[in-house]
Chains A and B, each alone.
Chain A
Amino acid sequence: MSLMQTFTNGAQGLFKPNSLTPMQKLTLRFVVIGLIYYGVVVIEGMLMRLFEVNPSLALGIEPKQFFAIMTAHPLVGIFGSTYLIVFGAFLFLVPFLMKKPLWSIKLGNWTLWLITIGTFVFWFAGFVSHYSPLYTLYWPLPADFSQFSALGGTFFIVGIAVVMVGTSFFVLNVFKTIVYTPAGWEKQPSGALISSALGISGIKNLFRKKKEEHLVSLPVAAIARGTVDTALNAGIILFTGVLILVYMVAYLLGFDLKHTAVDALLYKNWFWWGLDLIADGMVLIFVAGTWYLLATLITGKKLYMENIARSALLVTLVVSWTVWSHHLMSDQAQPGILKILSGEMVTAFELLTQGLAFFITLATLWSARPLKMSHPLKFLLGGLLGFALAVPAGIMQADLGLNRILHNTQWIVGPHVHVAILIGLTMTLYSAIYFLFPILTNGAKLYSDKLANFHFWAHLLGGIGMGAFMGMAGLKGMLRRTIYFNGEFNTYMILAAISGSLLLLAFLAFFYNIVMSVGLKGVIGIFMPSKLKTADLLPAEE
């Protein structure tokens, strides 16, 4: 096939979008849009990297635009990219593992489009109005109308709220899929299923002589428990968004509400409690569950220490509810007891829970030697390495002594945040994408293994390199949320930008490889309605 034919029809013409079920199309739409938003995030990241080297290099971006990008960048990354890819994968995997159809494909479509549109709305509002309180929204900055447009901010917050509504639909769909009884089936024990998914039956088993068997598989239990945090987080973000909207709408109507009506420290506590349900709850639980699933699928073996893995997921959930104070260690009015118990001690548990997941996954892989170094396996190992690097970095900064000299430096966002997200989380997601690709496309072939290998190495080295150079700058005192106009940290920033460009090249190679695998017609076909009228996940075998 010529290059043009491959570009049009996909590698060897194997991908037939007309053969896809509605569920396959739904999942692929989530992934495609999630990857496009990931591309936006990478481009934004590169613009910021160039700006950090020299503001004049970044296509004429002004400081206001720089901070607007800095505000949108993590939010598009988390909601527009990660949420879409993860939600799409889990809306497929939960019914796949439960061996029954998704409760509502229509609701799944609502989730997809609400998150897609909501992300575009807040991104565009930030792009146009330069609304830039950053994702932390420290009170009363989001309602400081001497710096920001109230109208732009209103659209920004509405966009976030739309994403949260879509997220709530995902939560509903996941739990309903676990408990509902499909038409024509024998009545499902919904109470027992939800009890098993949330780990309640597991706790009861600790005190029973005759142990009850687990009704849901470990990956489904992980998805359910991570989804609890997703729901709580959506509630906190919606509540905070409504509060900010009240100030914005009042301002637009000519009223100036007092900022002091909201206690800035109390606000910071509840908002970080909610944000940490993503960073230290949902992400860690979903990632651990995905590691377990991938390890068992790659090896075909039972998970090592499965009962302990199941219990650890529950511990992670409880830890995620009590860990937020590590973000307030430099807040002198925060009670010392919270800093020590929640900030230091509970946070140290994450070393244990994530360390367990790391060991269990490696031990499961080890038991199946020799394994072929497939793309899913190498990306899975990359994901494991990412968290092995980022979690200890986070434990160090969650120490009262070290936080005093690390807080708000590039150390926080480099070796901890970006290594956790880019290497730990994203490489785990890539592993799942490479694994699910032939299943979701009914046997389409990857266009180029060489490109996939380049994707792996460029992403791994770029991500670790960028995190490392940002971290080195942080140790030398470089702050994370300001601008240095005199090239104070240029050596580190140039090296971080070179590493960042590797990440961009990795993504371009991956995107090109996927487009060449399914073809342009295939990509368009994914967004056309399915011709198969079935709720089944995969087409019936002929």
Chain B
Amino acid sequence: MMIVLLIIFACTLIYFFLSERVEKHINLLAVQGTLLFIIAFINLIEINVLGLILILLETLIVKAIIIPRFLNRIRRTNNLNRLVENYIPFFYSVLIITAIIIASFFTAYSIRNHFVDVKFLAIALSTILGGIYFTIVHKNIFNHIVGIMIVENGAFLLSLAVGGEFPFLVSMAVLIDILIAVLIIGIFIDKIGSAFGNMSTSSLNKLKD
């Protein structure tokens, strides 16, 4: 079951690069958030009520509902439909993300550490690297926030891989922190859209002396 979920998760990564539509990217983030909840729920054998509430908040509520809805609102406000500006063509990006997944798989299995769950580590690594690649390859700043969210999903999987559990208060602080950061980034994207008329990084180059 877990393997199937992780494979589906890896497939969402490839879909990010197959699609040109911004709405699909946001939907894929929601799918990843839901998958993360199911994966975490199955993976945690012994869990207290607080822990369950926290995971529910972080994955289903924040990652699968709040952030996608917020991003969709920004998308509609700024009339963003298709991505036209990329540094690398889509076809090559699909090949590169596939290579990243394969390389992450081999890297994870080459790490011999009893405290690390290799199957989670492989997908976590590919998600983090895939997210970084997604950010770099797009010129549109809206997709940069999508890239950060993918990397954060990878970080969540990594926390499952290493079995890291933070105290409740600290976890809450981390969750609120991430949420606030994403909301503020979203607000700034909105402002850039209205101030510069577009969301391309090429219009953000006035500060160089």
Partners in one complex: no
Q: Chain A interface (Cβ within 8 Å of chain B)?
A: none
Chain B residues close to A by CB (< 8 Å): none
